[in-house]
Amino acid sequence: RRQMLESLKDRVAVTRDGVRVHLEANIASVEDMEQALSYGAEGVGLLRTELLFMERDQLPTEEEQFTFYKNVLLRSGGRPVTIRTLDIGGDKPLPYLGLPKEENPFLGYRAIRICLDRRDLFLTQLRAILRAGVFGSCRIMFPMIGSVEELRVAKAVVAEARETLTVEGVDFAADIPVGVMIEIPSAALTADLLAKEADFFSIGTNDLCQYTLAVDRMNEKIAALYDPFHPAVLRLIRMTIEEGQRAGIPVGMCGELAGDVAATKLLFDMGLREFSMAAASIPEVKAIILGL
């Protein structure tokens, strides 16, 4: 079976009646990029940038970030790479930011909420990504968007980053798509509105499941209640895919469910065509797609 899976590496994921599906990897480092390619990833559906911030004792500079994004893009061989802006807080602390202790960290000051509050930090990351964009094919993705207003403000900071780079005469990629993760129920329920202002969606089932079911994804005592196959979660996923399709924007999934072979057929039937997962899951999911 292992040999069979290995032999799939260079085959594209296509159903028996010819429907093409894109299988990408979730990565956090340049080394992960190598591994992703070895499993036949067609791109990166989620580049988590937290590691870059967590492995230091102060904020990475624009140059440090630029170098990292550039190196990932150079190794991608022209494949698309979706770079997610900082998703810190909740389960991922960042000691040097001096974040306050919170009663409900998952409902608190995290991800895009921090970035929109700490514009300096956000602007630096966006400038680094825009500059690195000339070395490959990349997209910018915001985590934890809960409303159209948040998306608008975040996009305004992207515009500001472009303006400052233009004024300074610094080279950057001007046409990078800007999309959102759909991982809060309010985002899924307003997917039609968000789709008018986002270039793409990527469904984050890990948080979507946690917030829809009110089940802490880290709490082992209630792990049995954490069920991404709950009809409430599936309805939000279906709604997101349909609204994305209606608006004509690409819809992918980068939560764990995308790499779960038990979900592949269901998600495909709902219209999902871009799956991003831990690289090691790609061959198994591809085998399922090839049999559909």
| Contact residues: ligand PEP, CB under 6 A | 46, 48, 87, 183, 204-207, 254-255
Q: Say whether 246 counts as a known binding-site residue.
A: no
Identity of the residue, 137 or 206, whose beta carbon is nearer to Mg ion in the bound complex: 206
Q: Are 262 and 234 in contact (CB under 8 A)?
A: no
> Using CB atoms, what's the residue nearest to Mg ion?
207
Active-site annotation holds for 254: yes
* Active-site choice (115, 138, 209, 254): 254
Residue 136 binds to Mg ion (criterion: CB under 5 A): no
d(Cα 255, Cα 277) in Å, to the nearest integer?
7
Residue type, 162: R
Q: Three-state SS for 186?
A: helix
Q: In the complex with ligand PEP, which residue's Cβ is closer, 8 or 257?
A: 257
Check the annotation: does 24 bind a ligand.
no
At residue 114, the 3 state secondary structure works out as: helix
**Which lies closer to ligand PEP via its Cβ, residue 8 or residue 240?**
240
Instruction: Name the residue among 199, 64, 79 with its Cα closest to residue 135.
Output: 79
**In b/e form, how buried is each residue of 37-69, taking b as 16+ CB within 10 angstroms?**
bebbbbbbbbbbbbebbeeeeebbeeeebbebb
Q: Is 113 annotated as a binding residue?
A: no
Please count the residues of this chain forming the interface with Mg ion, following the rule CB under 5 A: 3
Contact between 255 and 201 under an 8 Å Cβ cutoff? The reply is: no
204 binds Mg ion (CB under 5 A): yes
Q: Kindly state the tokens that stand for 33.
A: 């990029």
**Residues 206-225: x where in contact with Mg ion by CB under 5 A, - otherwise, as a string:** -x------------------
Q: Which is nearer to ligand PEP, 50 or 131 (CB)?
A: 50
Would you say 217 is a known binding-site residue? yes
Q: Which two tokens stand for residue 34?
A: 């190598």
Catalytic residues: 254
Detail the residues annotated as belonging to a binding site.
48, 84, 183, 206-207, 217
